[in-house]
Structure 1
Amino acid sequence: MLDQIITYLESIDPILAAFYATLFTWGLTALGASLVFFFKSMNRALFDGMLGFTGGVMVAASFWSLLNPAIEMSKGEGFVKVIPAVVGFFFGALFLFGLDKVLPHLHVNFKEAEGVKTPWHKTTLLVLAITMHNIPEGLAVGVLFGGVAAGFDGATIGGAVALAIGIGLQNFPEGFAVAMPLRRQGVSRFKSFWYGQLSAVVEPIAAVLGAWAVLSFQPILPYALAFAAGAMIFVVVEEVIPETQQDKYTDIATMGFILGFIIMMSMDVGLG
């Protein structure tokens, strides 16, 4: 079945393929958010483990699916060959740094909001925090599908599908991470679910823009791949990992990270 999916995505317009792939990742976010219909509270150890898993997937995807192909497809030798990856990675991290300082948001395990001061409700701030995660994730999928269509060495349809699957897997706990805290604050089950899935609506948009940009300006592909990687690593270090260190389940979060990394690495190498 997976071979059929890969063949189908390879046969259609790459922008449409990126859109379909991120509809899948969005759907898994919604699936995670739907747990509020079945549970009244969340187990903190499980929650921290899931967040760690998310971080592991993102770090593995950043190297195996993004940085490594970016370096492989760059021209030159030695330090010259790594310049596009260095430049893209730096500006990707810088972009998320700026977004983190400007966009009002509230992390799940923290009490103080970040970004510009605003009277926005806590619900909105929680959704925006996870939305920040999803911008580089959607961009990464779109850029990789665009690279495959452009025929760049190092960009494969299997790798693009593996990336989408990995991001979808780590989106599941992200949907849960938004919906369940809202439920604990007294928000209805449906509204908690709605806001949880809404946090990933940006992924198909970012994917379409990423695929279009690469197809329109092909020389930017290695820079774009590294840009997405830099943005994802910034999210992991600045947000995901600190969120897992606020309670006594740090070892569980660490093992979740290791598991997520292994799964994402295995999928990328196996499918790519």
Structure 2
Amino acid sequence: MELFDQIVAFCKEHPIQGALYASLFTWGLTGLGASLVFFFKKLNRAVLDGMLGFTGGVMVAASFWSLLSPAIENSPGEGFMKVIPSAIGFALGALALFGMDKWLPHLHINFKDNEAEGVKTNWHKTTLLVLAITLHNIPEGLAVGVLFGAASTLVGVEQTEMVIAAISLAIGIGIQNFPEGFAVAMPLRRQGVSRRKSFWYGQLSAIVEPIAAVIGAVAVSFFVPILPYALAFAAGAMIFVVVEEVIPETQRDKYTDIATLGFIGGFIVMMSLDVGLG
């Protein structure tokens, strides 16, 4: 645990750098998952649905254990008043992703070409698939950054706990990013895209995570009063993505049970990381 303690100490001293490094880690695992396209010719649909279900489970668990719970704990007041900042932030996060979903052209995995969402465009299907996963990754990066930024506003044991929560979240998101990278690269390969380009686009889908993480960390570090709103905002964005993007992608075939089991597994993994490391 000495290495872990050193990482925690570094992140307490340099929370914004911690957010950057943590999100680079999650991006790297996306690339690692996408690299499997060099070793496999196809991806079984049942495996894909299970992976997507796992992703959804991690995101839902993270939304509560890593984001909403600390948002409420760090809100002033008692009773219903204590929940108001989290409720407002949660709603704003969902609305923000709702707007992006309506505006950004994208195509979900397992969906047909004519089912693309967002502004109508002639962009290639490859681009639309990558943008769909990019939508997943924006709130994930933001969530990591907000937690690291939150740590900079605290002291003592509370700061340590927040840093550990941020690291736990980064690990959880990184774990689910691995199959997500594979889930992006393989459909592209199946459409005739070269292995190298499939890998490139697969890892590229997570490039927004470091950007969103740094923005979230800086915002919370310099505007402390927005902390509970920012934590809940990230949670609302993640829940919207799960309900609007991830779950529908797993319900297109006959493997819904596998997707459900994957969801439960992802939830357990993220819950265990957050509670266990905390």
- Which TM-score band (shorter chain)? over 0.9
- Residue aligning to 2:242: 236
Q: In the alignment, what sits opposite 1:36?
A: 37
Cα contact 2:12–2:163 (8 A) shared by 1:
no
Residue deviations 1:135-155 (CA, integer Å, cap 9, x gap)? 110000000001011107586
Distance 1:191 1:211 in 2: 32
Aligned residues: 272
Are positions 1:55 and 2:56 aligned together? yes
Unaligned runs of 5+ in 2: none
CA contact (8 A) 1:139 1:206 kept: yes
**Structure 2 equivalent of residue 27 of structure 1:** 28
Match of 2:194 in 1: 188
**Amino acid across the alignment from 1:7:** V
- What is the TM-score with the length of structure 2 in the denominator? 0.95
TM-score (ref. length: structure 1): 0.97
Give CA-to-partner distance per residue, 1:130-175, whole Å, 9 cap, x none: 0011111000000000101110758611111000000101111211
Between the aligned residues of both structures, percent identity stands at 77
Instruction: Give, in whole Å, the separation in 2 of the partners of 1:269 and 1:5.
Output: 20
SS of structure 2 residue aligned to 1:255:
helix
Partner residue of 1:256 out of 262, 266, 270: 262
What amino acid is the match of 1:123?
T
Q: Structure 1 residue 131 and structure 2 residue 134: aligned?
A: yes
Query: Deviation of residue 44 (structure 1)?
Result: 1.0
Q: CA deviation at 1:11?
A: 4.5
- 1:201 matched to 2:196? The reply is no
> Residue 101 in 1 paired to residue 121 in 2?
no
**Paired residues of 1:91 and 1:227 also in contact (CA < 8 A):** yes
Structure 2 equivalent of residue 224 of structure 1: 230
Q: Which amino acid in the other structure matches residue 80 of structure 2?
A: F
Q: Distance between the aligned counterparts of 2:5 and 2:151, measured in 1?
A: 17
Coordinate RMSD, CA, aligned: 1.3
Structure 1 unaligned spans of 5+: none
Contact 1:141 1:164 in 2 (8 A): yes
Distance 1:250 1:48 in 2: 7
Aligned in 2, Cα 1:249/1:122: closer, same or farther, shift over 3 Å? same
2:125 maps to amino acid: K
Q: What do residues 66-114 of structure 1 show as CA deviations (whole Å, max 9, x unaligned)? A: 0000000101001000001100000000000000000000001111110
Contact 2:12 2:151 in 1 (8 A): no
Q: Per-residue deviation at 1:5?
A: 5.0
* Aligned residue in 2 for 1:170: 176
Q: Deviations over 1:44-72 (max 9, x none)?
A: 11111111000000000000000000000
State the shift of 1:262 in Å: 0.6
Deviation at 1:4, TM superposition (A): 3.7
Identify which of 238, 256, 266 aligns with 2:272: 266
1:172-208 residue CA offsets vs partner (Å, 9 max, x unmatched): 1211111101101111000000000000000000000
Please state how far the C-alpha of 1:214 moved relative to its aligned partner: 0.4
